[in-house]
A and B are shown apart, each in its own frame.
Chain A
Amino acid sequence: MTDTLIDRRDLDFQLYEVLNTAALTQRERFSEHSKDTFDAVIETADKMAKEKFANHNSAADKDEPKFVNGQVDMLPEVKQAFDAYAEAGFLAGRYDYELGGMQLPESVMAACNGFFTAANPGTAGYPFLTTAAANLIRVFGSEEQKSRFLPHMLSGRYSGTMALTEPHAGSSLADIRTSATPTEDGHYLIKGAKIYISGGEQSITENIVHMVLAKIKGAPAGVKGISLFIVPKFHVDENGTSGARNGVSLAGLIHKLGYRGTTSTALSFGDDAPCHGYLVGEPHQGLKYMFQMMNEARIGVGLGAAVIGYRGYMHSLAYAKDRRQGRKASEKDPESPQVPIIDHTDVRRMLLAQKAYSEGGLALCLYGARLMDDQHTHPDQQKRMEAAKLLDLLTPVIKAWPSEFGPKANDLAIQVYGGAGYTREYPVEQCWRDNRLNPIHEGTNGIQALDLLGRKIWQDQSHGLQLLMQEMQVDLQAATTARCQQWALSLSETLQQAVKVTQSLGKTLMAGNVDKALANASCYLHLFGHIIVAWMWLRQANAAAKGLGAASSDSERNFYQGKLQAAQYFFHWELPTVAQDLVLLRNEDETCLNMEVDWF
C-alpha cells in the first residue's frame, strides 16, 4: 500500500510542461492567479484527499450504507469529508468570485478532483453530483431558483443528484414515464419512480436537490417531450430555509459491485404525499439541458477511471518494489537472496502497461479539461469555437478510453499482487470493483462508440476531425529526437489508415446502410481512442525529451526516462493492436450483425 494518490511530479509535468497551464494566468478570467495559487489549491486537494477521503475508503466499502426506517445509515467520516471539501471552497472553485468561487481553470479543478476520486471514489461522488446539479441550475435556472438553491448547494448545506434513469428506461431516456402535472400555484406535481439514483438519500446534508427528468402531461412523445425539474427533499422557502418534507421518498437502496460508499437509490415521487417540482427553463427542453452538461460529466467519468487506474498502479508499484519472491532465471544459486518482484521482466511489463494506461488516460482528461478552458476563456473567438468542436468530437473518447483501460490497469495491479491481490486484505481488488462502473454509467461505452462513429465524426462536415488532424500535425512536427520521430511516423501512418477506413464507412452510411456501418462501432472507438492516446504519449515524449536535455539531477533524469520508456511501450505494444480493428472495419465484418437471436 502507498499513500501516493497521483504522483505530484507527474501531475506537474502534465500540467506545466505538456499543457503549459501557467499560461492561462495571462487570460483575463485567471489574471488574479499565478502558478503559486494553482499549486496551493492542488496541495490542499492532495492533503485533504489523503487525510479526509482515503482514511475511510476501505471502511465505506466494507460497511456500506444501510436502509433503516426509510433513512440511510452511513459512516460519519463521509459527512466529515463532504464538509471539509465544501468548507475549503471546492464546490464553488470554478465559479466567479462573486458567487464565492475562486475562478479556477477547469484544468486545475480536474487535477484537484482527481485526488479525491483516487482517494475514495464513493465519498467523492457526493460533492461531484452536487457540483453537477448546481451547474444545471446556474446555467438554466431562473433568477429565483438560483437565489433559492444555488448558495446552499455551493456551500454544501444542500447536496444534489441527477435523477434520470427509470426501471424500464436506462440508456433509452425517450421512454421515461415520470409525469409532471401543472398546478395553479406555479409548481408541478411529480409522479413516478426513478432507480440507480446516486446520492438520492444520505445522512450528510440537511437537504437534497434532485434534478429530475419528467414528462409534462400532453407532451410530445420521445426525447422532445422531456422536461427538467428541481425536486427538493424538503420544501425550501425564499430565504433558503428547509421546511416540511416534499413527497419524494426512498424506496430502497441498491447494492453494487463497487462505488459502495455512494448510495444508489430507488426513489418514488408523489407516492404517499404530493411531490412538488419546479420547472427549469422551458418545457420539453430537459434532455437538451442535460446534454449540454454532458461533456463535463463524461470528462468527469473518464478522469475518475484514469485516476482509479492510477491509484492501483501506485499500489502495485510500491508492492512490487517491496515484495521479494524468486530469483532471476539466469541466477542458478538457490541460496542467493530472493529478488523484489519488480526485477522480473513480466512484472515490469504489467507495471509499464499500467503506467501507459493511467498516465495516458490522465493526459487525455487534462487535455479535455484544457479544451473546456479554451472554449470559455481563449482570447481569440475563433480558437474558442475550435476548442468547442474539438471537445465535442473527443468527448466519447475521453469518457470511454480511460473507462476501458483504467479497469484494465486495475486488473494488472491485481495480477502484480498475485494471490494477495485477489484478497480483500489488499486495496487493489476494490480499485477494480470501483472502476468497473465507469464503462457503464454516463452513457455506456457502446453508446459512446455509436455517438463517435454515428454522429461526432460527421458533424459540421467533419470540421472537428480536420481540426484534430491539424492539432496532431503540430505535435508530429515537434518530434525532434530520433526516438520521438520514429513514434511520430508510426502515429501518422496509423492515422492515415484510420482516415481511409473512416471515408469508406462514411460511404456506407451515405448509402443508407446505417446498421452495417455502425455494426463494428466499438472497433472504431478502440482504433480512434488508441490513436488519440498515442498522440497524448507523443506529446508527453516530446516534453520529456526536452526536459531530459535540461535535467540536472538523477531523479529528474529518471523521471523523464520513465516517460520516454512508457511512450515506447505504448507505441510498441499498444498502438499496433489497432491492426485488428482496421481489418474488421475495412471489411465491414458482419459476424455480429448477422448473428441471429435463435442461434444463441
Chain B
Amino acid sequence: MKVLVAVKRVIDYNVKVRVKPDNSGVDLANVKMAMNPFCEIAVEEAVRLKEKGVATEIVVVSIGPKACQEQIRTALALGADRGIHIETDAEVQSLEAAKLLKAVVDKEEPKLVILGKQSIDTDNNQTGQMLAALAGMGQGTFASEVVVDGDKVNVTREVDGGLMTVALNLPAVVTTDLRLNEPRYASLPNIMKAKKKPLDTTTPADLGVDVAVRLTTLKVEAPATRQAGIKVADVAELVDKLKNEAKVI
C-alpha cells in the first residue's frame, strides 16, 4: 500500500514570532524554520504503518521554495522512501495547496494520504478537508488512532465530546492530531541514507494548477500584550469587577 504524506515548512515552534514593522506579515528573515509539528506526526504514522508491514512505500510531498527540500530530507531521514518537491516562491493558500496535492494524488494513486490537521503558521485547518473533497475520498480528521483493516481504515477522531471512530473506504485522507503518536528523531545513519533517496522536483505549472491567491491579507498584528493582573480584596469586589469592568457576567 502506498502512503502519501504532505509536509509543510514553517517557523520553528521555539521561535518567538515577530510581526514586520509595516504589518504586512510575519518576519521570516533569518528565522529558524522546521517541519510543521503536525506534519511530523503524519510522517511518523506512515513510518509506523510501514514498520507494521501495512504500508509498502511512503512518498512525501512539500510545496514551497527550494528550501522546503530540507523538510523533505528530514522526512526521508525519518523513514519516508522518496520525495516530491512542488517548487514555487508564491504564497500558497489552503485551496491551492489542496489542488496541488490532488494533482499529486492523481499521479501517484496512494491508498492513504496523511496530513497534519493544520500548520502552526496559518492555523487554517483546511487543506486535508479540501483535498478529500477534491479527490472524492473519505476523510478522518484529528486522528488519535489509525488502524488499517483490509480495504478500510478505522480512524479515531478527537472531537469536542470525546472520541469518535469512523470507518473509511480506502483510498482516504487522514489528518493527524497531537496525541496520535510521538515522532522519532532522525537517527544519524538514516540522515546518511536519506541523502541517497530520490527527490523529484516539479512545479505548479507542470501539474496544471493555478496558484494565484484568492485571499488578500490586509494586516497582520501581534496579539495585544497581556495587562498585569490585580489582587481583589474579597469575592464581592471580584464579582463587582467581573460585572461592571470586565462585563463578563
Residues of chain A having any CB pair with chain B under 8 Å? 3-4, 8-9, 32, 34, 36-37, 40-41, 43-44, 47-48, 50, 84, 87-90, 92-93, 97, 100-102, 104, 553-556, 559
Contact = CB atoms under 8 A, between A and B. Distances in A.
B189 A40 contact: no
Interface residues of B, number: 18
A3 B195 contact: no
25 contacts: A4-B14, A9-B30, A32-B195, A36-B70, A36-B73, A37-B191, A37-B195, A40-B77, A40-B186, A41-B191, A43-B34, A43-B74, A44-B185, A50-B14, A84-B185, A88-B185, A88-B186, A88-B188, A93-B188, A102-B189, A104-B188, A553-B29, A555-B30, A556-B29, A556-B30
Nearest to A552: B29
B187 interface: yes
Interface in B5-37: 14, 29-30, 32, 34
A539 to B, nearest CB: 22
Contacts of A34: 195
A88 B187 contact: yes
Contacts of B187: 44, 87-89
Contacts of B185: 44, 47-48, 84, 87-88
Contacts of A44: 185-188, 191
B195 to A, nearest CB: 6
A313 to B, nearest CB: 17
B189 A100 contact: yes
Contacts of B32: 8
Q: Which 6 A-B pairs have the closest CB atoms?
A: A89-B188, A102-B188, A553-B29, A88-B187, A40-B191, A555-B30
B188 A90 contact: yes
Dominant secondary structure at the B interface:
helix
Nearest to A87: B187
B191 A102 contact: yes
B14 A3 contact: yes
Most A C-beta atoms less than 10 A away, residue of B29, B30, B70: B30
A104 to B, nearest CB: 7
Contacts of A48: 185
B192 A102 contact: yes
B141 to A, nearest CB: 26
Given A88-B188, A102-B191, A40 B29 contact: no
Contacts of A37: 191-192, 195
A90 B74 CA distance: 17
Nearest to A90: B188
B201 to A, nearest CB: 16
Interface string B106-139: 0000000000000000000000000000000000
B181 to A, nearest CB: 14
Contacts of B77: 40
A497 B195 CA distance: 52
Contacts of B29: 553-556
Given A37-B195, A102-B192, A556-B29, 15 more contacts: A3-B14, A34-B195, A37-B191, A40-B73, A40-B186, A40-B191, A41-B191, A43-B74, A44-B185, A87-B187, A102-B188, A102-B189, A553-B29, A555-B29, A556-B30
A60 to B, nearest CB: 21
